[in-house]
């Protein structure tokens, strides 16, 4: 059974004093340094709101009180809905959910184990696979299909997802027209524009450019999504030692300002817009300036980001669960597990990239989705913690059994055996002889078999009437 929305927050890499210092330094950056806004539309909104705007450099500065006033307008909780209400989630506080991420260019082929360019069919297959993996709660569009043109990539990515999973669909966007088309499609599925706003089946992502920059296209797209009133994620991706100071504290400062700049823009455009503060912060390997995704520092930065989000009372989108390994091996497992665990224990609301991503975020693996689903089940069990009350302490049971007895046949054991312990669906717990009799399969081979099983058994598709209407009313979809 899936566990989601459990309360994290037991792990705190930042002290309260450190949180206050990052916050105060962020306000100084907003007031004394500012951030560049290259979207004329976004710039005009900041100007109308009373920010200090330099028309030549496009640098926007804001006094502390203005920053805090606009941040206070953002909702502290954001609802993300699935086509099946079972998959609805509420981001906020320290509640923890997990999901896929992207946008990878490559797929590791299940049959050949070779890397190849991702296709639209891969997106459909991965959506179906994730729909059947109980510990992955949100489907974020994980790949960029190489076989369709950029002009229609947005509408095709969202359609492929919505037609193959009942979970909430989140995705990055690349064109203004693609945003309009994806929204129109979701409105058709929901039944009306009003119903989509009440039950948002989709959410979108626009990124700030570290350090301290909102570029022209992303700024225009952010304004359009905010006007539409749909949930929007505002991540920043500072890289320690490259696009941010080499110290983790300095990287956190850049990450905080960059993401908050996006949040501020949403509220300047449309007060109350459901917005998610977000981090994709990581570090670089300074030996060759390579972006790394499996480092423990990435886990620390994003766990600390959860604390900053809780300080501002904003929902938080964290990044964890990736690996820099090229194959499903020990490195792949420990890198994915450690970063996901740190973020979940810190109370990150939505941990994106938590399944499937590897090789510096360049590739996704079908098998890794299954392996990560197992990891995330264990991670959520850790978030749940240990419940201590009169019944779980089991004093009366201990007294009844007494010295030298056993608890195997106890009613207490039967009552708690399925809820108290996580039972893996992929891990091997056979004795050696039975394991060898069943083929001596390693984790990767077992995962391959589960992929095949899920793809053959798990089916979902939009109702035919809705599919027909979408295909007839929205151009550019490749069915």
User: Residues 260-288: pLDDT tens digits?
Assistant: 999 999 999 999 999 999 999 999 998 88
Residue 227 belongs to a domain? yes
Asked if pLDDT for residue 420 goes beyond 90, the answer is yes
| 102-148 pLDDT, tens digit each | 899 999 999 999 999 999 999 999 999 999 999 999 999 999 999 99
Other Cβ atoms less than 10 A from the Cβ of 387: the count is 11
- Tell me, what's the pLDDT at 352? 98
Whole-number mean pLDDT of the chain? 97
Q: Is residue 456 part of a domain?
A: no
2 pLDDT above the threshold of 80: no
The answer to whether the CB of 53 falls within 8 A of the CB of 30 is no
pLDDT of residue 459: 82
pLDDT of residue 286: 87
% of residues, the chain, pLDDT over 90 = 96
The reported pLDDT for the residue numbered 401 is: 97
Asked if pLDDT for residue 360 goes beyond 90, the answer is: yes
State yes or no: pLDDT of 51 exceeds 80. yes
Torsion on CA atoms 148, 151, 157, 158, rounded to nearest 10:
-150
Residue 390 lies in a domain: no
Identify whether 473 is part of a domain. Answer: no
230 pLDDT above the threshold of 70: yes
CA dist., res. 110 & res. 158, Å (int)? 24
- Range list of H helices, 29-119: 40-49, 64-71
Give the closest residue to 341 by CA, choosing from 405, 298, 398, 386. Answer: 298
199 has pLDDT over 90 = yes
The residue with tokens 């947005």 is 154
pLDDT digits (tens, 9 = 90+) for 177-191: 999 999 999 999 999
At residue 246, the 3 state secondary structure works out as coil
Mean pLDDT over 322-339 rounds to: 97
317 φ, ψ to 5°? -110, 115
Q: Which residues form the domain of 379?
A: 6-14+72-384
Alpha-carbon span 206 to 221, nearest angstrom: 7
pLDDT (tens digit, 9 = 90+) per residue, 422-472? 999 999 999 999 999 999 999 999 999 999 999 999 888 999 999 999 999
For residue 223, tell me if it sits in a domain.
yes
**pTM recorded for the entire structure:** 0.97
Q: For residue 299, is it within any domain? A: yes
Give 124's contacts (C-beta < 8 A, 6+ positions apart).
160, 163, 164
> Count of residues for the chain?
479
Write out the DSSP string of 116-172.
Answer: EE--HHHHHHHHHHHHT-TT--EEE--B--TTS-GGGHHHHHHHHHHTT-SSEEEEE
Q: What is the pLDDT of residue 212?
A: 98
| Gyration radius (Cα) of the chain, Å | 23
- 1 has pLDDT over 70: no
Q: Is the pLDDT of residue 25 over 70?
A: yes
Question: Cα–Cα–Cα angle for 123, 124, 128, nearest 5°?
Answer: 115
Burial class (CB within 10 angstroms; exposed 0-12, middle 13-18, buried 19+) of 468: exposed
- Specify the number of domains making up the chain: 1
Q: Is residue 222 a part of any domain in this protein?
A: yes
Q: Please give the average per-residue pLDDT across 207-228, as a whole number.
A: 97
Contact 344, 380 (CB under 8 A): yes
CATH at 195: 3.20.20.480
In a domain, 201, yes or no: yes
Cβ(120)–Cβ(128) below 8 Å: no
Q: Specify whether the CB–CB gap between 118 and 145 falls below 8 A.
A: yes
């Amino acid at each position: 059974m899936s566990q989601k929305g459990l309360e994290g927050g037991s792990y705190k890499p930042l002290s309260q004093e450190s949180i206050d210092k990052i916050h105060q330094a962020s306000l100084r950056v907003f007031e004394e340094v500012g951030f560049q806004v290259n979207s004329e539309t976004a710039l005009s909104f900041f100007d109308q709101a009373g920010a200090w705007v330099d028309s030549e450099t496009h640098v926007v500065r804001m006094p502390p009180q203005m920053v805090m006033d606009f941040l206070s307008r953002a909702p502290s909780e954001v609802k993300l809905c699935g086509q099946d209400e079972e998959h609805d989630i509420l981001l906020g506080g320290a509640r923890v959910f997990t999901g896929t991420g992207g946008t990878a260019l490559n797929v590791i082929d299940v049959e050949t184990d070779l890397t190849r360019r991702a296709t639209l069919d891969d997106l459909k297959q991965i959506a179906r696979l994730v729909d059947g993996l109980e510990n992955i709660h949100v489907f974020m569009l994980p790949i960029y299909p190489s076989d369709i043109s950029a002009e229609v990539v947005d509408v095709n990515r969202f359609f492929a997802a919505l037609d193959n999973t009942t979970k909430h669909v989140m995705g990055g966007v690349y064109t203004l027209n693609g945003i309009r088309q994806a929204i129109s499609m979701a409105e058709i599925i929901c039944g009306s524009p009003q119903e989509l706003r009440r039950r948002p089946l989709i959410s979108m992502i626009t990124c700030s450019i570290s350090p301290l920059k909102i570029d022209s296209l992303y700024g225009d797209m952010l304004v359009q999504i905010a006007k539409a009133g749909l949930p929007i994620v505002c991540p920043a991706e500072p890289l320690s030692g490259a696009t941010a100071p080499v110290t983790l504290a300095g990287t956190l400062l850049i990450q905080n300002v960059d993401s908050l700049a996006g949040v501020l823009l949403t509220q300047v455009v449309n007060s109350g817009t459901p917005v998610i503060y977000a981090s994709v912060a990581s570090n670089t390997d300074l030996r060759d300036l390579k972006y790394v995704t499996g480092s423990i520092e990435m886990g620390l930065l994003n766990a600390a980001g959860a604390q900053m989000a809780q300080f501002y009372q904003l929902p938080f989108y964290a990044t964890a669960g990736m690996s820099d390994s090229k194959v499903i091996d020990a490195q792949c497992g420990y890198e994915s597990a450690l970063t996901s665990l740190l973020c979940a224990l810190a109370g990150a609301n939505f941990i994106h990239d938590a399944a499937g991503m590897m090789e510096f975020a360049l590739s996704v693996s079908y098998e890794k989705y299954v392996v990560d689903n197992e990891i995330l089940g264990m991670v959520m069990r850790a978030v749940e913690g240990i419940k201590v009350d009169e019944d779980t302490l089991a004093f009366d049971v201990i007294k009844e059994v007494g010295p030298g007895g056993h608890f195997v046949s106890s009613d207490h054991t039967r009552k708690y055996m399925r809820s108290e312990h996580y039972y893996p669906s992929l891990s091997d717990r056979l004795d050696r002889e039975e394991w060898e009799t069943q083929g001596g399969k390693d984790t990767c081979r077992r995962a391959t078999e589960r992929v095949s099983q899920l793809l053959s058994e798990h089916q979902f598709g939009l109702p035919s009437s809705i599919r027909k209407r979408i295909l007839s009313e929205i151009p550019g979809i490749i069915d």
